[in-house]
Amino acid sequence: PLKIKVFMWFVHKQVILTKDNLAKRNWTGSRRCSFCDHDESIKHLFLDCPLAKILWWSIHIAFNIAPPTSINTLFGTWLNGVEIESVRHIRVGVCALLWA
């Protein structure tokens, strides 16, 4: 769906309104992640948070693919070496997981 494509474009450009980005706009709320006690950023929310790590571990088990190490590799070299037929399905699934 278009809304997921737009969301993923925002993730790629790192402009999602995570708490660190809100703070740059003079937001005065807590910068802490809702799932753990670390500062929330795009990298934390999608890669480093314990909840995100569980999701990436599930993908690792299901497809034998190592998790991406950064937002840039998520959109670049992360799926190098994976069968071309599987890449599209994996990307669609990951986009849906990140959006959810």
The predicted-structure confidence for 13-58, as pLDDT tens digits, reads as follows: 999 999 999 999 999 999 999 999 899 999 999 999 999 999 999 9
Note the pLDDT of residue 85: 80
Residue 66 tokens read as 């190592």
- Segment 67-88 shows an average pLDDT of 87
Distance CA 68, CA 47 (A): 8
The count of domains in the chain is: 1
Q: Containing domain of residue 59, as a range?
A: 2-99
pLDDT of residue 83: 84
pTM of the model: 0.82
Q: What is the pLDDT of residue 24?
A: 92
